[in-house]
């Protein structure tokens, strides 16, 4: 079996390669693709050198699975070309997520939408993945009426440019700014670009993608995305209003039983999720679990996850593992 990583030299691409190795995904050939300026470079995988190839060369290699993380423009230009020759494309960009005929997948939540015939699969936004993993079992049992989410997103979600800006500001070095303001010792209430309605594209993704993954367009969702000067992962304050009443014990039981979730909720001992301790882990950590007494059937959650792993690379690799285990490939 041949697996390609498109955008192999980027932050998420490198993490995809690492996760493939860690999870011991079986392949005979690994194809590392990037832009033409990176072609010919060598990358070490499993102590072996792999040359970086161009997109044309990767296409000619006819991979069985291609993990794309090279931006929306590259995905729009190349994903269907790979899919047309029988390759399963798992795309981490925003290019295909909201197409009705393209599955948007968090494997623990909705792997049932993956079919043998559909060769293009979308990986959701990092903030969406961690939130829907917690929302899914609760929606199934109590039905969600409304969600209010505020995110506290790591600079790693902006790729190397965002990380480099924070690194340089901490060290008082000159750097080409990616954000419109300093990020060190600051928080920036903007993720993506602003729409005419005053919301950002990142906020709109949380609305649209959550509804699609949970299969319920009636859920009312509002979001505020904030960039914060941390590296380890994204954090979310999530306020949920259900149609049905619940007890906190039921919430904890359902979240504990959900694959991929780890409960960290002992506030008297100052135990709750934090990005510092979520970094390089695949779990979605949930804590500060408490009722919201200001509305009927209200709940507050604090959700944290490494955005480069479960929020991107690990989720994509899990989709690939589903394809392999169900004998779609291999």
Q: Does residue 205 fall inside a structural domain? A: yes
List the CATH number of the domain containing 53. Answer: 3.40.50.720
Q: Does residue 33 fall inside a structural domain? A: yes
- What pLDDT, in 10s, does the model give residues 26-68? 999 999 999 999 999 999 999 999 999 999 999 999 999 999 9
- β-strand 284-292 against 298-305: which pairing, if any? antiparallel
Are both 136 and 107 inside the same structural domain? no
Are both 236 and 287 inside the same structural domain? yes
Can you tell me the distance from the alpha carbon of 324 to that of 18, in angstroms, rounded to the nearest whole number? 18
- For all residues of the chain together, what is the average pLDDT? 97
Question: Is the predicted pLDDT of residue 192 greater than 90, yes or no?
Answer: yes
Q: Which residues contact 140 (CB under 8 A, 6 or more apart)?
A: none
Averaged pLDDT, 67-73? 97
Percent of the chain at pLDDT exceeding 70: 100
- What pLDDT, in 10s, does the model give residues 196-248? 999 999 999 999 999 999 999 999 999 999 999 999 999 999 999 999 999 99
Are both 18 and 110 inside the same structural domain? yes
- What pLDDT, in 10s, does the model give residues 4-27? 999 999 999 999 999 999 999 999
Are both 113 and 53 inside the same structural domain? yes
Q: Does residue 28 fall inside a structural domain? A: yes
Return the active site residues. Answer: 126, 234
- What pLDDT, in 10s, does the model give residues 141-174? 999 999 999 999 999 999 999 999 999 999 999 9
List the CATH number of the domain containing 249. Answer: 3.30.360.10
Q: What is the pLDDT of residue 330?
A: 77
Q: Does residue 178 fall inside a structural domain? A: yes
Question: Is the predicted pLDDT of residue 251 greater than 80, yes or no?
Answer: yes
Are both 202 and 57 inside the same structural domain? no
Are both 111 and 165 inside the same structural domain? no
Q: Does residue 330 fall inside a structural domain? A: no
- According to DSSP, the residues that pair with 227 across neighbouring strands are 153, 188
DSSP 213: H
Are both 65 and 151 inside the same structural domain? no
Are both 137 and 118 inside the same structural domain? no
Are both 177 and 93 inside the same structural domain? no
Q: Does residue 73 fall inside a structural domain? A: yes
Q: Does residue 89 fall inside a structural domain? A: yes
CA distances from 306 to 5, 12, 47, 283 (A): 20, 12, 25, 8
128: nearest Cα among 167, 97, 84: 97
Are both 69 and 158 inside the same structural domain? no
CA angle 95, 121, 62 (to 5 degrees): 100
Look up the domain containing 93 and give its range. Answer: 2-124+312-325
Q: Does residue 164 fall inside a structural domain? A: yes
Into how many domains does the chain fold?
2
Averaged pLDDT, 245-253? 98
Are both 102 and 135 inside the same structural domain? no
Are both 96 and 142 inside the same structural domain? no
25: nearest Cα among 67, 82, 85, 80: 67
């Amino acid at each position: 079996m041949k697996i390609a990583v498109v955008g192999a030299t980027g932050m998420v691409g490198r993490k995809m390669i690492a996760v493939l190795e860690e999870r011991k995904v079986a392949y005979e050939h690994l194809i590392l693709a990037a832009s033409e300026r990176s072609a010919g470079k060598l990358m070490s995988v499993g102590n072996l050198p792999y040359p970086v190839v161009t997109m044309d060369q990767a296409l000619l290699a006819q991979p069985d699975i291609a993990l794309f993380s090279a931006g929306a423009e590259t995905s729009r230009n190349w994903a269907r070309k790979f899919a047309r020759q029988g390759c399963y494309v798992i795309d981490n960009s925003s290019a295909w997520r909201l197409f009705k005929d393209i599955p948007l997948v968090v494997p623990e939540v909705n792997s049932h939408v993956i079919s043998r015939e559909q060769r293009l699969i979308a990986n959701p936004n990092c903030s969406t993945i961690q939130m829907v993993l917690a929302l899914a079992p609760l929606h199934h049992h109590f039905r969600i009426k409304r969600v209010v989410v505020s995110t506290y997103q790591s600079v790693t979600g902006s790729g190397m440019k965002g990380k480099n800006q924070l690194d340089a500001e901490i060290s008082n070095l000159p750097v080409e700014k990616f954000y419109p303001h300093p990020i060190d010792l600051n928080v920036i209430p903007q993720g993506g670009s602003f729409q005419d309605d005053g919301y950002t594209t990142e906020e709109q993704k949380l609305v649209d993608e959550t509804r699609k993954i949970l299969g319920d367009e009636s859920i009312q969702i509002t979001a505020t995305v904030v960039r914060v000067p941390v590296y380890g992962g994204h954090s979310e304050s999530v306020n949920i209003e259900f149609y049905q009443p619940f007890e906190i014990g039921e919430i904890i039981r359902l979240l504990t039983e959900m694959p991929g979730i780890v409960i960290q909720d002992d506030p008297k001992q100052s135990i709750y999720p934090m990005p510092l301790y979520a970094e390089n882990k695949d779990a979605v950590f949930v804590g500060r679990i408490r009722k919201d007494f200001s509305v009927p059937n209200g709940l507050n959650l604090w959700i944290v996850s490494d955005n480069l792993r479960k929020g991107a690379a690990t989720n994509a690799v899990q989709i690939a593992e589903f394809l392999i285990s169900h004998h779609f490939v291999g």
